[in-house]
Structure 1
Amino acid sequence: MSINAINPVNGKIIKSYKEATEDTVRRKIEQTHKAWINWRESSFEDRTRLMNSLAAQLHNQRDSLANLMALEMGKPLKDGLAEINKCQGVCEYYASNAAAFLKDQQVETEATKSYVSFQPLGIVLAIMPWNFPFWQVFRFLAPALMAGNCGLLKHASNVPGCAMAIEQLIKDAGFPDHVFQTLMIGSSAVNKVIAHPSVKAVTLTGSTEAGIKVAGQAAGLLKKTVLELGGSDPYIILEDADLESAAEICASSRLINNGQSCIAAKRFILVKKIEREFTELFLEKMNDRKTGDPLEACTDLGPMARADLRDELHAQVQRNITMGAKCLLGGQIPNHKGKHAYYQPTVLSGMKKGMPAYSEEMFGPVATLLSARDTEHAIKIANDTSFGLGAAVFTSDKQYGEEIARTKLQAGSCFVNSLVKSDPRLPFGGINQSGYGRELSAFGIQEFVNIKTVYIK
């Protein structure tokens, strides 16, 4: 069996990788467990030195890594470079802050001495998606290794070159052998990895369906999980918003990574008074992005990651149109050569409850516009979802916007007058069908440690 990297621009195989056998996987897990026995005893000074070395490797290899993403999943070069820069930043962030985040916390009790200590768990299995093939991994990898854990990566099968490149980066940075390894396996082999006694925890970024399966198995084995799953993120535009700015930010958020992002804006809820004006501005911004070859520096939007994903998205669009939605922009599959997995930026309006796009995640460059009578109605629509990853509100009244973000919107990240994004300094994650647990910040590094009470009488 082989795992193929396929160029989404033309559908051609870039490279084939031999799928690991069950014996090979078992051997790698055993190697990583042995590496952890020593790694857990390493000092923060040593971990910091190596993590900064990893950041330097990312910086030095950023052009080739961005090129690899363009080839394997269609990310434009400028976006790939930004992704590698972000990976470098998260390495530097945890290199600087991990020791403080995991410092013993003294607690006054009747004991002579009592405190909370943060100790590594062991091997953390990461099941990662293709849409941000480096960032998704590094936001787990940096805190996990700095906490004294080791890592195994089961990456998405359409970015095997990225998976191998990450393992090589770890080696180039000088980390001990087997502290982090890639498992070149398909989804059907994951169960046995989760079940291995040396694997102590699992982190997954992916679909809600995948999260349910992994969480169910891990729970049956009493293994900790962190899940970052799908989203149908609402952006509310109030009548006092700066509409020009809001339209630009909303279009940017919807088209981040060609719309293939769990935290990208999906549903735009417009208060009736500004609906027409905002829609005109938004259509202009959505239509302004340059689609082309991801290897060209001027390209804003490349292809979607796979042709089958494009076809699924188009089918979703057509179902909504059949049920009464209006297509204001796009909605077509390019029919000429060299456009293997491309899809036009698309805007649907007239969305009603019961239509698929009202509740389903649209994972691609498709925006849906919903009309609200007033602010209260807009908030109700925003929260009328099984997801809860990100949300945003646009208003000139920042204090009121803060109140809506803090107390009204039901999501893990709520922004005012800005697109929702992840930042190493802030916790990131969702609620409800968008998952649980947090990545990044102090909260993220404390997810996969033993929060141990030490008490001396």
Structure 2
Amino acid sequence: MTMIKCISPVNGEVYAERPAMPLELAKQAVAHARLAQKNWARRPVEERVKLVLAGVARLNEMVDEVVPELAWQMGRPVRYGGEFKGFNERSNYVASIAADALKPIIVEESDRFERRIEREPHGVVFVIAPWNYPYMTAINTVAPALMAGNTVIIKHASQTILVGERMVRAFIEAGVPADVFQNLFLDHDTTAALIAAKSFDFINFTGSVEGGRSIERAAAGTFTGLGLELGGKDPGYVMEDADLDAAVDTLMDGATYNSGQCCCGIERIYVHESLYDAFVEKSVAWVSNYKLGNPLDPETTLGPMANKRFAATVRQQVADAVSKGAKALIDPKLFPQDDGGAYLAPQVLVDVDHSMEFMREETFGPAVGIMKVKNDAEAIELMNDCQYGLTVSLWTNDADRASRIGRDLETGTVFMNRADYLDPALCWTGVKETGRGGSLSILGFHNLTRPKSYHLKKVTA
């Protein structure tokens, strides 16, 4: 029997393990979800929304268990209180727009014709969730999918193996029928076999580019709808009129929070030459104030990375950049807790350029490179010189300028004077190798449903 294991970054030991479900049992679970879907979809949307929000509330009641579990599984310090703020904000927002997002588009309603377009649930939605923000990324799809009348099967990454189990437990205890929302422990081969067999009507995957390619290969020829949020190398651009202190505070937090393990974390920063020296100096001071340590200690502000192999990637990229002329500005003596394994000190690099892997490939750790630029044109060229496109963070007091620059950027979201935030009223989407599709907002509901047209002629004459 294959066991799926979570190796805790806290101590390098097995924290939790579950047996992988055999293919035949997994098929039965999917069949139960399919049988339950029609009755679930027949319930009024208001009832579905109420039950989903009850599940969210029940999970909130488990905060004392959820927060330390996350620390043990993926290393986020307990002082930050888990993911409840974003989890609740996203759930509440999609609940507030569900009825409008799902209502029919009326073309004609007369004594002769009824013509309308209705939104119909896909059926069974498969959510493959990542470990870095395992609750918030999952709820992006789980909440609107259930509200729209789909049944949902969730599979979490092995690093956060307990998250899907706990989410489903909370929702079932709150009244969501057991077959409507299920958590399955699946290995890669079983997952691929289920997808290839067209077990699902829509699949949402958040993870690596290679993981996205594997999903696409497994789904080839099935015509299953896919939503893919993959890699990122999100840039910040600090213009000459920026609020310097605010830019440093937000961009450094965006680069290092959660040990840099954020889908839309800031990984490279371009600063106008007039502010460059001051920005670098303030950034080094900001990052140097972190306390690296055990995430279960309330005094810890920077925990370990989720796995020592992830930290190894960051160390390799930094070392390669330094060997090619980059300069590391954070004194390692400030972080004696860096053990060469999962516990990794943050780092700021200057004298970097785009010949270095560190400035082009996803790092996904608490390290950021800063480059000097002369003007908007140079910054735009550098920000677009990347295979990814999730978000960009522009720092200026001129909204028109930010909009003009944004139109030339190859990205899913343009931020001005903020970063590393997912606004549930806006579509969360990406371009290039960051993936395709979109979640949240009214468009998220549209992606989790399909249009059905009704053309009803009331008279035969």
Q: Measure the CA separation in 2 of the matches of 1:191 and 1:151.
A: 17
The question of whether the paired residues in 2 share the 8 Å contact of 1:330 and 1:345 is answered with no
| CA drift at 1:140 | 0.8
SS of residue matched to 1:266? strand
The question of whether the paired residues in 1 share the 8 Å contact of 2:348 and 2:370 is answered with yes
**In the alignment, is residue 32 of structure 1 matched against residue 33 of structure 2?**
yes
SS of residue matched to 2:256? helix
**In the alignment, is residue 65 of structure 1 matched against residue 66 of structure 2?**
yes
The 1:214–1:107 alpha-carbon spacing in structure 2 relative to 1, beyond 3 Å, is same
The gaps in structure 1 that reach 5 residues or longer are none
Q: Measure the CA separation in 2 of the matches of 1:91 and 1:359.
A: 34
Structure 1 runs, 4 residues or longer, greater than 4 Å off: 108-111, 330-340
Task: Name 1:451's counterpart in structure 2.
Answer: 451
The 1:152–1:330 alpha-carbon spacing in structure 2 relative to 1, beyond 3 Å, is farther
Give, as a single letter, the amino acid of the residue that structure 2 aligns with 1:387. Y
1:166-193 CA-partner distances (Å, limit 9, x unpaired): 1211211110121111111122321112
Matches within 5 A, 1:255-404: 255-329=256-330, 340-404=341-405
| CA drift at 1:136 | 0.9
SS of residue matched to 1:309? helix
Q: Measure the CA separation in 2 of the matches of 1:392 and 1:337.
A: 30
Task: Name 2:221's counterpart in structure 1.
Answer: 220
The question of whether the paired residues in 2 share the 8 Å contact of 1:233 and 1:265 is answered with yes
Give, as a single letter, the amino acid of the residue that structure 2 aligns with 1:363. F
Aligned length: 455
Task: Name 2:175's counterpart in structure 1.
Answer: 174
The question of whether the paired residues in 1 share the 8 Å contact of 2:346 and 2:367 is answered with yes
The question of whether the paired residues in 2 share the 8 Å contact of 1:208 and 1:434 is answered with yes
Q: Measure the CA separation in 2 of the matches of 1:444 and 1:332.
A: 46
| CA drift at 1:80 | 4.0
Q: Measure the CA separation in 2 of the matches of 1:315 and 1:445.
A: 41
Give, as a single letter, the amino acid of the residue that structure 1 aligns with 2:243. D
Fraction of identical pairs, as percent: 31
| CA drift at 1:330 | 5.3
| CA drift at 1:294 | 1.3
Task: Name 2:418's counterpart in structure 1.
Answer: 418
The gaps in structure 2 that reach 5 residues or longer are none
Task: Name 1:88's counterpart in structure 2.
Answer: 88
Matches within 5 A, 1:70-149: 70-81=71-82, 83-108=83-108, 112-149=113-150
Q: Measure the CA separation in 1 of the matches of 2:29 and 2:454.
A: 34
| CA drift at 1:8 | 0.5
Give, as a single letter, the amino acid of the residue that structure 1 aligns with 2:222. L
Task: Name 1:163's counterpart in structure 2.
Answer: 164
The question of whether the paired residues in 2 share the 8 Å contact of 1:131 and 1:260 is answered with yes
Moved more, 326-335 or 175-184: 326-335
Q: Measure the CA separation in 1 of the matches of 2:237 and 2:300.
A: 29
The 1:372–1:109 alpha-carbon spacing in structure 2 relative to 1, beyond 3 Å, is farther
| CA drift at 1:109 | 9.5
The 1:37–1:301 alpha-carbon spacing in structure 2 relative to 1, beyond 3 Å, is same
Give, as a single letter, the amino acid of the residue that structure 2 aligns with 1:329. I
TM-score when normalising by structure 2: 0.94
The question of whether the paired residues in 2 share the 8 Å contact of 1:66 and 1:77 is answered with yes
The question of whether the paired residues in 2 share the 8 Å contact of 1:346 and 1:366 is answered with yes
TM-score when normalising by structure 1: 0.95
1:23-52 CA-partner distances (Å, limit 9, x unpaired): 221121111111113212111122022022
The question of whether the paired residues in 2 share the 8 Å contact of 1:76 and 1:299 is answered with yes
Q: Measure the CA separation in 2 of the matches of 1:131 and 1:326.
A: 28
Q: Measure the CA separation in 1 of the matches of 2:4 and 2:438.
A: 31
Matches within 5 A, 1:177-188: 177-188=178-189
Give, as a single letter, the amino acid of the residue that structure 2 aligns with 1:92. N
1:359-382 CA-partner distances (Å, limit 9, x unpaired): 101110010112212221111111
Moved more, 433-442 or 12-21: 12-21
Task: Name 1:434's counterpart in structure 2.
Answer: 434
